[in-house]
């Protein structure tokens, strides 16, 4: 009896120590012990060794979490402020992107309308100028490779007198030069510029085509205010100009700029 009493007293002391540990470490009273455990609905208590192993596993899991960060609340507030600012910045960016896309769509729409409008004007003038230069035939422009005018390429389909409609790449050098000039002059007639510089454009042309080119140029100077500056070595082209500017070398190694006003020269001759 004395031995059993001593054992019982030891167990009671052990129980008190465990209860004090629970109260100090976990803030749990003895009456609330089962409510905070997984043994509340258990009729038969599990094996002590299994529970100790389970407890040791939980302790190891808790130790693996590392030390407690005492500034966690402050850092949480800082992160919340940072996240809130980032969300506001994101909303501003999304709104700006949306406005930018709307502006791009509006610009593209206006661009398509203006390109189609300009294309129709230039296409009509192109055919008119081509017909004058070639004394007949037809010429037209076509969008290729895409239905969207902003993405499409441009092809020139021409038909000189007596020939079938074909691409400009299949024409002779002189025909290609006249066709290109037709397009340039068509653009100038649609939207004249103050100055146009033509560099050796008459080089691949024969005398008959040079005469046509000069006649068309004379018409353009009458219906537009564009000043044409032509760099040429062709005598026929020079004879049709109002003024000539050239470089001569009266002495070896010395260049001199000379100019001739053909209109005044004709008056002097007369």
Q: What is the DSSP string of 101-117?
A: HHHHHHHHHHHHHHHHH
pLDDT at 220 over 80: yes
Point out the least confidently predicted range of 86-90, 151-155, 252-256, 263-267. Answer: 263-267
H helix runs in 25-71, sequence order: 48-64
pLDDT at 36 over 80: no
Q: 0.85 cut: is pTM over it? A: no
Query: How far lies 259's CA from each of 147, 213, 221, 248, 262, in Å?
Result: 51, 23, 21, 10, 9
* pLDDT tens, residue by residue, 224-245: 888 889 999 888 888 888 888 8
pLDDT at 262 over 80: no
Enumerate the β-bridge partners of residue 247: 257
> What's residue 218's pLDDT?
86
pLDDT at 107 over 80: yes
> What's residue 90's pLDDT?
95
* pLDDT tens, residue by residue, 47-105: 888 888 888 898 888 888 888 788 888 889 999 999 999 999 999 999 999 999 999 99
> What's residue 68's pLDDT?
78
Structure token pair of residue 66: 């590392």
> What's residue 104's pLDDT?
94
Query: How far lies 24's CA from each of 12, 28, 30, 63, 120, in Å?
Result: 18, 8, 12, 18, 92
pLDDT at 263 over 80: no
Q: For strand 227-231 and strand 195-199, is the pairing parallel, antiparallel, or unpaired?
A: parallel
Q: Which candidate, 143, 198, 209, 200, places its Cα nearest to that of 171?
A: 209
pLDDT at 255 over 90: no
* pLDDT tens, residue by residue, 136-195: 888 888 888 888 888 888 888 888 887 777 777 777 788 888 888 888 888 888 888 888
Helix 72-134 vs helix 207-223: angle between axes, to the nearest 10 degrees?
120
> What's residue 3's pLDDT?
92
Enumerate the β-bridge partners of residue 231: 199
pLDDT at 265 over 80: no
Helix or strand or coil: residue 251?
Answer: strand
Q: How far apart are CA 181 and CA 84, in angstroms?
A: 63
């Amino acid at each position: 009896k004395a031995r059993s009493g001593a054992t019982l007293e030891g167990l009671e002391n052990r129980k008190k120590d465990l209860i004090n540990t629970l109260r100090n470490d976990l803030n749990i009273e003895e009456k609330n012990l089962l409510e905070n455990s997984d043994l509340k609905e258990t009729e038969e208590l599990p094996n002590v060794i299994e529970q100790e192993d389970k407890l040791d596993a939980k302790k190891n899991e808790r130790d693996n979490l590392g030390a407690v960060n005492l500034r966690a609340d402050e850092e949480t507030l800082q992160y919340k402020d940072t996240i809130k600012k980032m969300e506001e910045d994101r909303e501003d960016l999304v709104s700006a992107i949306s406005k930018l896309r709307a502006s791009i769509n509006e610009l593209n729409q206006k661009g398509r309308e203006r390109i189609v409008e300009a294309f129709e004007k230039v296409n009509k003038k192109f055919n008119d100028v081509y017909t004058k230069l070639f004394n007949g035939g037809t010429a037209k422009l076509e969008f290729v490779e895409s239905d969207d005018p902003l993405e499409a390429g441009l092809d020139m389909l021409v038909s000189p007198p007596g020939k079938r409609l074909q691409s400009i790449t299949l024409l002779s050098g002189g025909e290609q030069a006249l066709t290109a000039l037709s397009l340039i002059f068509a653009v100038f007639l649609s939207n004249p510029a103050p100055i146009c510089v033509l560099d050796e454009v008459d080089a691949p042309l024969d005398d008959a085509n040079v005469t046509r080119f000069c006649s068309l140029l004379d018409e353009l100077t009458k219906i537009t205010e564009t000043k044409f500056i032509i760099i040429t070595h062709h005598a026929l082209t020079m004879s049709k100009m109002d003024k000539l500017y050239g470089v001569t070398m009266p002495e070896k190694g010395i260049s001199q700029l000379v100019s001739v006003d053909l209109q005044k020269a004709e008056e002097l001759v007369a």
